[in-house]
Structure 1
Amino acid sequence: MRGIGSAAALAALLPASAFGAAAGMSEQVRLGAKAQTEAGALVMLPGISQDWAMAMAVIRRSLSPKFVMDFAEASNVKALQAAVDRLQARKVKKIVVVPMLLSSHSAEMDENRYLFGVREFPSAAYLGGAHAHSGYSLVRRVKAKVPVVLTQALDDHAVFAELVAERAQAQSKDPSREAVLLVVPSSRADLANSQWTGTIQSLADKVRKATRFKSVQTAFVPEDVGQDERAKAEKTLRATARSLGDEGRVIVVPLSLSRGPERRLRKVFEGLFLRFDGKPALPDKKVARWVEDSLEKGKKLPNMRTYTKDLAPPAPPRSSLKRPSLGTPVRSGSALDPRAGLQKPPAEPPADAGTADEEAQEPANAAPAAEPSGSPEAP
């Protein structure tokens, strides 16, 4: 739902007391000057929706005694700037930004590093796609008068692994005879990044160890490709699920962070004997534990805001990006330093730049199974 991620849109979804200045001053601010806190919390959301609004309301109630809370859509510089301004108006001494994103090594994470001055140049891979800032030579940064810390994304954090494991276990009958397939929305740039794929594989390994499933595998579905290439990727994904099904029951868990991709996945898996509840991995109210852990660690870190000048993105890479085979686990080391990606890109900037549910009981030519509660309708 990128494009509606404004403060007004989120304020309309959250309770009146949940969104700072956009919906009235917080309880801490109303207590007076003594309510100043050492750190303010800015949670960056992957999108704006009713589901996320409800999850954020739970997080606010849980953490507001410790932190002044605010929320904004990731990569939306206008919404992020408004959130920073609100937190500064509440006299916070530091802002800890918590990115509710899948990986610390994604192109979108690099773009948010740039926006908060942690990275020198904008992400050419991210800006070159659907999120390009057309018509602008410079990409504006978020301005702040206080220190800023940007924490890690979800990655393979123990809380996220626990949530994914619970999603799989809810559909399980005999883990020792079942395979879990984590379907991961991705971009071409992310798939070419071994740290990104390595983090996803590390998450899969943690889920397997916690659940004793026969296997936990990953499959990547690129979202920034043409229709023909997307169809080819989905065909490979279906073949992967069918192959796993030859050895036992298959449970599909999409690692999407908002509703949308599941509807298309239902069609991909139509007619296969597998379990798929048609729900995204997040939002989930339990993610408040991850947010709190990120904030507690982040408030102890020094200022990460190094760059303040607005710059233009470097030229997109000329060579085509190689992608791993869909459905094939990719093992790699995972360096989850939130400062990752700070290296100057090789290109110099311009000189003047400043669900098939219940095991899909019936095959494709039979009557469709009943839709799971709360999941999108099948196409």
Structure 2
Amino acid sequence: MNMSQTGVLIIAHGSSNPKWEKDIEEAVLKVNTELPVVISYLEFSEEKTIEKGIQQLESDGIKTIVSIPLFISSGSTHIDEIKYALGVIAETPVDTDLHPIEMACDIVWCEPMDDHALVMDLVSERVASLSVNPEKEVLLLVAHGSDESSFHEKWEELLQRMKQALATRFPFKQIVHGTLHPDNLRSTVARLPQETETLVLPLFLCEGYFTNKVIPNRLEGLSYHWEGKTYLPHPLVSSWIENQLEAALANDRQ
């Protein structure tokens, strides 16, 4: 990989909320790299699409693009859409408006955030800020999830791994999870012991519609403790991007 001809494409979902994109952009600005970095969005942006991001890098003479999907889970159907658009996979079972992008450059694909060690450190900090007496508390992880069976399995496997990792760090009475797809959040909370304090932690990248509206509405009338803090803003997101980039470059040198 010729470093002078290598660039980075950060791919995020996008949002109609300007603060959502601002959090992404601030995190990317803090990434320590001399390589050119372009942010693209899957939705809500006509100026910063994936295709335009590739075109921008190619116009600057880039021949190899390290693509880093800034997504919580490999269980997101959007991951398959993006891989299809980038030519990483030849076809996808997911319905998508994306099409394979014509490009002259090579794509180096990185995986989403999942339960990477840096991500678990970040999540643990969020948990610690919520918890007062873990032996008498139940931790509820809230994720987007998926109604597609194969992607649902990936979400479930990730959430199980995250719960196991957190159980080694915090002596909670119980750690459970709920998803918006399928919609089991309210029923999950309703089954929890009444004598315990329920802590709710959203596994979402940025504060926005889901954390401001959807989750509170699903839990309306139930007793729980919640701060609504998401992965961003947090410096470990920038550290994770750096880690993914360094790993991609190291693998290429082998």
**Do Structure 1 and Structure 2 share a fold, with TM-score over 0.5?**
yes
The letter of the residue matching 2:60 is R
Name the counterpart of 2:174: 215
Give the alignment partner of residue 87 of structure 1, picking from 29, 37, 57: 57
**In structure 1, what is the Cα distance between the partners aligned to 2:101 and 2:108?**
13
Give runs of aligned pairs for residues 45-124 of structure 1, distance below 5 A: 45-48=12-15, 49-63=18-32, 65-74=33-42, 79-121=49-91, 123-124=92-93
1:181 correspondence with 2:117: no
Name the counterpart of 1:274: 224
Q: Does the residue aligned with 2:141 lie in a helix, a strand or coil?
A: strand
| TM-score normalised to structure 2 length | 0.84
Q: Is the 8 A contact 2:14 2:20 kept in 1?
A: no
Q: 1:146 to 1:179 in 2, by over 3 A?
A: same
1:164-187: CA deviations, max 9, x gaps? Answer: 222121111112221110111122
Provide structure 1 residue ranges, at least 5 long, that are not aligned to the other structure.
Answer: 1-35, 134-138, 224-232, 303-379
1:219-242: CA deviations, max 9, x gaps? Answer: 12117xxxxxxxxx3xx4223213
Structure with greater helix share of residues: 2
Give the alignment partner of residue 188 of structure 2, picking from 240, 244, 265: 240
Q: Is the 8 A contact 1:97 1:150 kept in 2?
A: yes
Name the counterpart of 1:198: 157
**In structure 2, what is the Cα distance between the partners aligned to 1:115 and 1:41?**
16
Q: 1:245 to 1:268 in 2, by over 3 A?
A: farther
Q: CA deviation at 1:89?
A: 2.4
Give the alignment partner of residue 201 of structure 2, picking from 253, 271, 275: 253
Q: Does the residue aligned with 1:211 lie in a helix, a strand or coil?
A: coil
Q: CA deviation at 1:286?
A: 2.5
Bigger radius of gyration: 1
**In structure 2, what is the Cα distance between the partners aligned to 1:97 and 1:140?**
17
Structure with greater strand share of residues: 2
1:293 correspondence with 2:252: no
1:41 correspondence with 2:42: no
The letter of the residue matching 2:38 is D
Q: Is the 8 A contact 2:146 2:155 kept in 1?
A: no
Q: Is the 8 A contact 2:140 2:175 kept in 1?
A: yes
Q: CA deviation at 1:283?
A: 4.7
| TM-score normalised to structure 1 length | 0.58
Give runs of aligned pairs for residues 148-159 of structure 1, distance below 5 A: 148-159=107-118
1:241-260: CA deviations, max 9, x gaps? Answer: 13324251110011123311
The letter of the residue matching 1:179 is V
Q: CA deviation at 1:218?
A: 1.3
1:317-346: CA deviations, max 9, x gaps? Answer: xxxxxxxxxxxxxxxxxxxxxxxxxxxxxx
Q: CA deviation at 1:38?
A: 4.9
**In structure 1, what is the Cα distance between the partners aligned to 2:21 and 2:163?**
24
Name the counterpart of 2:119: 160
Q: 1:160 to 1:141 in 2, by over 3 A?
A: same
The letter of the residue matching 2:187 is A
**In structure 1, what is the Cα distance between the partners aligned to 2:193 and 2:218?**
15
Provide structure 2 residue ranges, at least 5 long, that are not aligned to the other structure.
Answer: none
Q: Does the residue aligned with 1:141 lie in a helix, a strand or coil?
A: coil
Cα root mean square deviation, aligned: 2.6
Name the counterpart of 1:348: none
**In structure 1, what is the Cα distance between the partners aligned to 2:5 and 2:168?**
38
Q: Does the residue aligned with 1:238 lie in a helix, a strand or coil?
A: helix
Q: Is the 8 A contact 1:190 1:196 kept in 2?
A: no
